[in-house]
Amino acid sequence: MLCLKNLQMVVHWGNGFWKLLSFSMQMALVLVTGHALASAPVIKKGLSKLASFVKTPGQAILAVSLISGIACWINWGFGLVIGALYARELAKQVKGVDYRLLIAAAYSGFLVWHGGISGSIPLQLATDANEIAKVTAGAVTDIVPTTQTIFAPFNLIISALLILTLPLVNKAMHPEPDKAFVIDPKLLVDKEEEIAVSKADMTPAERMENSPVLSMIVGLFGLGFIIYHFSTNGFDLNLNIVNFIFLIVGIILHGTPRRYLNALTVAVKGTGGIILQFPFYAGIMGMMTGESAAGISLAGQMSNMFVSISTPKTFPLFSFLSAGLVNFFVPSGGGQWAVQAPIMMPAGLDIGVPAAKTAMSIAWGDAWTNMIQPFWALPALGIAGLGARDIMGYCLIDLIYSGIIICAVLILL
């Protein structure tokens, strides 16, 4: 009997393995298009100019925390890169600033990504009703608009509180001047590789790649579609339109197709984890939702457990805390949604908690423990040339502070 049950789980796992392919591609594009946009020359020049207005270490920590928070709320791939690049510029120009805290402050902005306009859970809820029904085990069958998730008052309050107050928390952690870890600005100078190719030596295809005309034509077509989308659908945000916007803006700002392709080549290196891990998350989802011969699923049993110990007031808090725990094992918002949605969404609806509130509680739990789950810190650390241990102490303080803020708002509102 035990062997038969184990075989059933293997079958559920295999059947679910490829059920998140479209979502996996969408999440990969969130990172790639955001990363490519952040590396545009005009963005880098803007960051350098912005850094020139900052004069003291305290101002530097405040500035990078604020910019990173706003950028991550707009797009997490964009924010992760823009925060690290801005931190490097500040380290070059501001004397006495602690480099480790500067990078930790840049990463702290990632706390708000899942409550922002590139949050994978709220955007998936707004994208495809059939996919929603599949992931939530049939608990939610209609699209949930972003007005109930991203732009809901409780979510905007959490986002605003963290974006506005985390800079102050980070600034308070700056060590005394004699104890600050100051890096030599010369070590942060980028070595630009200029490959000059004469137009006379270019093939017709290479001339097209290096011509701004093609980028501008694609950009105009893209902007036309974006305007059409919002004029006919209202403020309809979903994963597809968010990725489309960042793709088109990136193409325009890089100027030529070749420059954008070069930026994509660098950005794609960070998608390995998404491509490899998401099929396994889908397999876990299959194990959670697959029913036995008696019609019982693991997700259903866990859902009943949460119903038995929760009230409408406490359920969002339990959802948040459980998501924070699961994030250590599934360090991806999209993957975590695949694992937890079949459990928490039916349970929340049984108790009387709106689907949007439960979903955003899971989203914030995922974002919360990213502060001490170094998976998503790797792009920033790679740009900075630091290791995870260099920033973890600061991130732990941000974790404790943000946890208090999020729990309080989820309970009170």
What pLDDT sits at residue 193?
Answer: 45
Whole-angstrom distance, CA of residue 37 vs CA of residue 320: 31
SS3 53: coil
Residue pair 99/181 in contact (Cβ under 8 Å)? The answer is yes
What stretches of 130-237 adopt beta strand conformation (E)?
Answer: none
Q: What is the pLDDT of residues 171-192, one digit of tens each?
A: 999 999 888 888 877 767 655 4
Distances (CA, A) of 65 to 47, 48, 107: 14, 16, 8
The phi and psi torsions of 291 (rounded to 5 degrees) equal -95, 145
DSSP state of 291: B
Please name the residues in contact with 374: beta carbons below 8 A apart, sequence gap of 6 or more.
Answer: 381, 388, 392
Query: Quick one: tokens of 101?
Result: 């805290």
What pLDDT sits at residue 200?
Answer: 64
Q: What is the DSSP annotation of 316-352?
A: HHHHHHHHHHHTTTS--HHHHHHHHHHHHHHHHHHHT
- Listed as ranges, residues in the chain with pLDDT below 50 are 192-195
Q: Is the pTM of this model over 0.85?
A: no
What pLDDT sits at residue 144?
Answer: 95
Residue pair 253/219 in contact (Cβ under 8 Å)? The answer is no
Give the number of other Cβ atoms within 10 Å of residue 226's Cβ. 15
What pLDDT sits at residue 142?
Answer: 93
Q: What is the pLDDT of residues 87-110, one digit of tens each?
A: 988 998 999 999 999 999 999 999
